[in-house]
Chain A
Amino acid sequence: MSIKRTITGLALIFIISNQISSQPCKGFHESKDCFVYIPEGRDFKQYSQAKSALTAVGQKTTYKVVLFGGKDYILGVCAESGYRPIHFRIIDSQTKKVMYDNKDYDYIDSFNFTVEKTQPLDIEVQILENKKISVKKDKMCVGIEILWSTILKPVPKK
């Protein structure tokens, strides 16, 4: 009887410790809080691994990615409901030059762009302080997704 109890206790410890170690934000990028608008008539596919991470207000997360040249991309970021604005910047990994800052576009959550030549980029994401939010959490989930498509060639005029 006592062996059974001990074994059950140990099994529970394993299960709990595994639960604690698992990511609390697993699959957040697939939730309803994350939605990337795809322009009508375009076929965009998933590019690289969409990521979810646990973060805090003010905490910066840098996603290192290589974007192949000759493609259109949509970059989308998201966070748990209410945690807006999300500040993101696209930075050249080599020179650290800021290529895009969504602060200049009213902190829009997604960005459509074309990359001419293959290049390594850093995408820096940060949830900014929002004084209007009623329930404040220490930690919250943030998600990032990149979609790609072949470049849409302009339709020749008739």
Chain B
Amino acid sequence: MNNRIIRGFIGIALLMVQCQANNKKASNINLNSDTIVNIDTTRIDTNNKVTYMLLSPNEILGEIFSDKHLLNIQLINPISSAVKYVDTKHQALNLGVYIADFAYLNLNENKTNALEYFKTIRDLAQKINIYGYFNEGFFNRIEKNMARNDSLIKISQEMYYSMSDLLENSSRQNIFALISSGALIESLYLSSMNITKMSEYKTIAGKIFEQKYIFDNFYAFTSVYKNDKDVRSILRQLDTLKKILDEADKKSSEKTVTQGNDNKVIIGGGDEIQVTDKLFNSFKENVIATRQEIVSISK
């Protein structure tokens, strides 16, 4: 009996070491620049590490909706769905979805729902073994700052990045790839569905398509973990969206660096993305379908 227990422990130990080694292999790939430019052509430049500085849903939504926007609570994923996500893939993807919903509520200063969404985030995070951040102290901090929207937005941003750090430090970036996929899709979904006035349609549609660059970086980061079957399946869903974003025409002007008033350096020029109604509608349809697959109850 005693031997069985010891053998069992050794078995678990070997499995865990193996899992860590596999994860490390994936994270090491991330460090080599040329693998990211073209994932299928692995050229390793050992003298150049590449790191992605990804943006949180707060920053993406805050950029698209620079003015306070009318909140449409019907759009966000109901918290009642959270208990139905039983596998790690759906738990991680929907954790990202709820983080984006939490950001959306905070940007719109909807404090009543924000706390409930935060509790859902904490519960899902614990289900996928993200500990060490959602302690009582952090929860108290959220409650204390409920009245101050700026602080809440900052805390929400900090929470996303801390989660990324925690998963990076435990070589579980594949899980973060899933969380950030859910967060990005939900951010794009909320943005696309929130255009209510024709007068703002062109501006917001343009800003949504400017997220193409964020999407490209995010896609390259996620592709590093494509050995993970769950990551691979979400990448397949994102492929069509990537193609649509790539289809947009651009008005390009040469990039320049000039010195303006007060010796201020200005990086000027670049691309102005042209969005047609047809392209935007195709993008919106695809975002709705992808988001629906994520939030649908896992079988």
Whether the pair B255, A99 counts as a contact (CB closer than 8 A) is: yes
Contact with A along B157-182 (1 / 0, CB 8 A): 10001001100111100000000000
Whether the pair A113, B267 counts as a contact (CB closer than 8 A) is: yes
- Least distance between B91 CB and chain A CB atoms (Å): 22
- Least distance between B258 CB and chain A CB atoms (Å): 10
Contacts of A23 in B (CB 8 A): 165, 168-169
Residue A135 is within 8 A (CB to CB) of chain B in the complex: no
Task: Give Cα A48–Cα B213 distance, bound, in whole angstroms.
Answer: 14
- Least distance between A154 CB and chain B CB atoms (Å): 6
Whether the pair B47, A60 counts as a contact (CB closer than 8 A) is: yes
Given contacts A21-B24, A21-B171, A92-B255, contact A60 B210 (CB under 8 A): no
Whether the pair A120, B24 counts as a contact (CB closer than 8 A) is: no
How many residues belonging to A are interface residues under a CB distance threshold of 8 Å? 55
Contact with A along B245-276 (1 / 0, CB 8 A): 00000000001010011001111111110000
Contacts of A120 in B (CB 8 A): 213, 216-217
Whether the pair B54, A113 counts as a contact (CB closer than 8 A) is: no
Task: Give Cα A16–Cα B270 distance, bound, in whole angstroms.
Answer: 49
Whether the pair A62, B54 counts as a contact (CB closer than 8 A) is: no
Which residues of B in the span 45-90 have a Cβ within 8 Å of any Cβ on A?
47-56, 59, 63
Whether the pair A154, B261 counts as a contact (CB closer than 8 A) is: yes
Contacts of A146 in B (CB 8 A): 53
Whether the pair A59, B54 counts as a contact (CB closer than 8 A) is: no
Residue B20 is within 8 A (CB to CB) of chain A in the complex: yes
Nearest 9 pairs of A and B residues by beta carbon: A117-B270, A65-B53, A66-B213, A113-B265, A48-B53, A120-B213, A49-B161, A22-B169, A61-B49
Taking Cβ atoms with an 8 Å cutoff, the residues of B that contact A are: 2, 5-6, 9-10, 13, 16-17, 20, 24, 33, 36, 47-56, 59, 63, 154, 157, 161, 164-165, 168-171, 210, 213-214, 216-217, 220, 255, 257, 260-261, 264-272
Instruction: Jot down 9 A-B pairs with beta carbons below 8 A, ordered by A.
Output: A10-B10, A47-B59, A49-B164, A58-B47, A63-B52, A64-B50, A97-B255, A99-B267, A111-B265
